[in-house]
Amino acid sequence: MRTRLWIPAATLALTMLAPTAAMATASDGGSAAYEETRKASAEKAELLTKSYGTYSVQYALIDHGEIVVSGHSGINDEKGQKPLTADTMYGIGSTSKMFTTAAVMQLVDQGKVDLDAPVVNYIPEFTMKDERYKKITPRMLLNHSSGLNGSSLTNAFLFEDNDSYAHDTLLKQLANQTLKADPGAYSVYCNDGFTLAEILVERVSGMDFTGYIHKYMTEPLGMSDTKTPQDSPNASGMAGIYYPAYQGQLPNETGNVIGTGGIYSTAEDLVRFSQLFTGQAEGILSAKSADAMEQKEYKTPLWPGEADNSIGYGLGWDSVDLYPFGEYGIQALTKGGDTILYHSSLVVLPEQDMAVAVVSSGGSSTVDQLLANEMLLHALKEKGKIAEFKPEKSYGKPVKADMPESVLQYAGIYGASNQTMKVEISKLGELSLSTEQAPDYPAEKYEYSADGTFLSADGKTKISFVTEENGRTYLWTRQYASLPGLGQTALSLYSAEKLQPRDLPAETAAAWKLRDGKKYYALNEKDTSLAYLLGPTLQLSLSKQLPGYVLDKSITGSNTAASGVQVPGLSGRDIVNYTFYTQDGIEYLDAAGSIFVGEDFLKPLYVAKKSAATIPSSGYAKWYTVSDKDAGKTVKVKTPVNGSFAVYNEQGLCVYFSVISGDQNKVELPANGSVVFVGDAGSKFEISLQ
């Protein structure tokens, strides 16, 4: 799963953190020595681990079928007993989508799948509460234009647990959903489309997805270090993973939506895989299919105008014209991936028969992509394919001009998935952009310029407004973002659409007012879920700026709220609608298949010399608050088989999770904190004072 390349208001976020050491080895490809490329790669990889939040990174460059640069940097296990090697495996997140795409295209080559036939032809049991679903085609799954809401990922990311629940229940979850747009209307990043494509491969081939990719991709290409959770790979062969807010190394992360984001691999294996797209593995994927994958599938009526960009979907690819390679007259394809703790980037130059893969623990796919870009540019220069590196770009300083009064109409509240932003425009031509969900984040300032857009003072960000044929008005953000030592990336997208306030009936408004500002606690994540490390809660806050809304969702009834935003690219992805329901006198919240309960239903944990907590017949997690009289007490918990518990401080940060901390199960209860017990229905947790 590729996580959102988040734009808080208009600023491109490049994730950052820290750790050490570098090494590079390779044979030269005969056509170039690659000494400068190896040196630059090692230096920049070390920069990632020392300055940009990456614990470890592994990289490889292939040229005409030969791996000519390979190396790694950083720490692996915290005890220093397992050094990084070329076959240390990393989760590649959404780069897994390229395996799914290639698998579908292999079936197209064989005449078993028609990209433009309905998906229901291949998965007859696929159904939704929306008749438009019958128009969804395999092409739409692969180019992100299916209209599916986005991500049904309950129990998808677990610690050392290959439970296939998220894959197995997808069709059931989709059966209770509606579409957010007409199939084919526009492309917006969608994880569920690729899990559905994974199921399509299984139905048509008669094989499980893991078995399929091994037989038809990893084995023919010699990719011995590419596995899935269903292979139950040895965790000791995985790169060590860490979370900045929790001390110590974590158990291995499993992504159990394999075709969406669950494959493990190495940088060297990924560049071997890239040969499918450079004509070096014609017997596995036809040149016709590889070419079809790199077409500009994102070119629908609802897409911003031409601009330098790192987002522009093909089939599977995040971009089929990646900046800055167009500056050199070279086409570049890219796919990035982020799970919660692993990250990756694959950049392919099909006409040059070259590719770079970067995988990492910590950091982000964006930073990995910048390293891949730099490696390829150094190699191209060393081979004489480019003469010099192009200078970094900007949009220039604002050129003072009088702003037409008509521009004032674009002020207002804009929405993207799970956020709203306020656009203020003064008659003097000053634009201020702030995010309601981040009130402490400084408002961004822009000045009206002679070209009719608003520019940042440094000239790196340009904003304008577009009213599309669908009648919706969008905030168009174009941006150049740089990281010292790692070059520059570009982004051009509609970052939000203008929303209008809603008048609510008194009864509806009263029902939602009772929920405003309250915290809700997840109940149906499995005991091994990474959600318990991250803090499985959400706070429901009614918009103060936009009456009738909670986040981007318009309130549609006393118990329902639904997002109506239709934003292509990234900012309209992962739409989550809210439905409240009452059972046995308790109100629950269903948000994209995740079930929550409000803070009002949490009771204080009873701490005595000996006490217990039992999971109810529903199997839902049991949450408790820590009372004033028990704050500071140390308790020991005996957990049942298939059970875990976690403790959170007043700020909601996880201070103890038994899945990570092992058999110790002893923890001091924090003041104003909370405790959750998770396990099978009827399982009992024995609690004793220490």
Asked whether residue 11 carries a pLDDT value surpassing 90, the answer given is: no
Identify the DSSP state of 11: P
Same domain, 633 and 488: no
Chain-centroid distance, C-alpha 65 = 30
User: Cα 315–148–552 angle (5° rounding)?
Assistant: 120
For residue 590, tell me if it sits in a domain: no
Residues 684 and 638 sit within 8 Å (Cβ to Cβ)? no
CB count within 10 Å of CB 466 equals: 14
- Report the range of poorest mean pLDDT among 1-5, 482-486, 602-606: 1-5
Write the DSSP assignment of 97-127 as a string of letters.
HHHHHHHHHHHHHTTS--TTS-GGGT-TT--
Average predicted confidence (pLDDT) for the chain: 93
Rounded CA separation 350/193 (Å): 26
* CATH code for the domain in which residue 649 is found: 2.60.120.380
Per-residue pLDDT tens digits for 556-580: 999 999 999 999 999 999 999 999 9
pLDDT level of residue 33 (50, 70, 90 thresholds): confident
Q: How far is CA 415 from CA 181, 194, 463, in A?
A: 16, 26, 15
Same domain, 266 and 365: yes
Q: State mean pLDDT over 261-285.
A: 95
What's the first-to-final CA gap in the chain, in angstroms? Answer: 42
For residue 4, tell me if it sits in a domain: no
Same domain, 493 and 611: no
Question: Which of 663, 644, 582, 55 has the alpha carbon at shortest distance from 360?
Answer: 55
Residues 123 and 203 sit within 8 Å (Cβ to Cβ)? yes
Element (H, E) at 562: strand 560-563
Q: State mean pLDDT over 214-227.
A: 98
Asked whether residue 4 carries a pLDDT value surpassing 50, the answer given is: no
pLDDT recorded at residue 110: 98
Which of 545, 580, 615 is a domain's end point?
580
Same domain, 461 and 519: no
Asked whether residue 282 carries a pLDDT value surpassing 90, the answer given is: no
Token pair belonging to 343: 């990250």
* CATH code for the domain in which residue 224 is found: 3.40.710.10
Asked whether residue 31 carries a pLDDT value surpassing 50, the answer given is: no
pLDDT recorded at residue 1: 57
Q: State mean pLDDT over 657-677.
A: 91
Per-residue pLDDT tens digits for 644-655: 999 999 999 999
Same domain, 490 and 515: no
User: Helices 97-109 and 192-205 sit at what angle, rounded to 10 degrees?
Assistant: 40
Which residue is it, tokens 């329901």?
581
Same domain, 480 and 510: no
Query: Structure pTM?
Result: 0.94
Asked whether residue 21 carries a pLDDT value surpassing 70, the answer given is: no
Q: Is 612 exposed, middle or buried (0-12, 13-18, 19+ CB in 10 A)?
A: middle
Q: What is the share, in percent, of the chain residues with pLDDT greater than 70?
A: 95
Asked whether residue 131 carries a pLDDT value surpassing 70, the answer given is: yes
pLDDT level of residue 124 (50, 70, 90 thresholds): very high
For residue 593, tell me if it sits in a domain: no
**Overall domain count for the chain:** 4
Q: State mean pLDDT over 488-503.
A: 97
pLDDT level of residue 493 (50, 70, 90 thresholds): very high
Per-residue pLDDT tens digits for 132-152: 999 999 999 999 999 999 999
Element (H, E) at 480: strand 473-483
Which of 464, 498, 532 is a domain's end point?
498
Domain that holds residue 567: 506-580
Which of 482, 498, 514 is a domain's end point?
498
pLDDT level of residue 9 (50, 70, 90 thresholds): very low
pLDDT recorded at residue 410: 98
Q: State mean pLDDT over 241-263.
A: 95
Q: How far is CA 159 from CA 86, 478, 659, 660, in A?
A: 24, 38, 8, 8
Rounded CA separation 66/241 (Å): 30
Same domain, 191 and 305: yes
Asked whether residue 243 carries a pLDDT value surpassing 80, the answer given is: yes
Q: State mean pLDDT over 361-386.
A: 97
Q: State mean pLDDT over 215-219.
A: 98
Token pair belonging to 161: 């647990």
Same domain, 520 and 669: no
pLDDT recorded at residue 24: 33
For residue 82, tell me if it sits in a domain: yes
Asked whether residue 550 carries a pLDDT value surpassing 90, the answer given is: yes
pLDDT level of residue 257 (50, 70, 90 thresholds): very high
Q: State mean pLDDT over 372-385.
A: 97
Q: State mean pLDDT over 452-466.
A: 97
For residue 468, tell me if it sits in a domain: yes
For residue 491, tell me if it sits in a domain: yes
Per-residue pLDDT tens digits for 75-115: 998 887 889 999 999 999 999 999 999 999 999 999 999 99
Same domain, 126 and 171: yes
Per-residue pLDDT tens digits for 523-544: 999 999 999 999 899 999 999 9
pLDDT recorded at residue 32: 53
Rounded CA separation 80/95 (Å): 29
Same domain, 263 and 347: yes
For residue 589, tell me if it sits in a domain: no
Residues 579 and 9 sit within 8 Å (Cβ to Cβ)? no
Number of H helices, E strands in the chain: 14, 37
pLDDT level of residue 662 (50, 70, 90 thresholds): confident
For residue 44, tell me if it sits in a domain: yes
Strand partners, 580: 589
Asked whether residue 14 carries a pLDDT value surpassing 60, the answer given is: no
Token pair belonging to 377: 């540019």
Same domain, 308 and 444: no
- Report the range of poorest mean pLDDT among 191-200, 374-383, 628-637: 628-637
pLDDT recorded at residue 608: 82
pLDDT level of residue 663 (50, 70, 90 thresholds): low
Same domain, 108 and 246: yes
Per-residue pLDDT tens digits for 189-210: 999 999 999 999 999 999 999 9
Question: Which of 204, 40, 19, 186 has the alpha carbon at shortest distance from 107?
Answer: 204
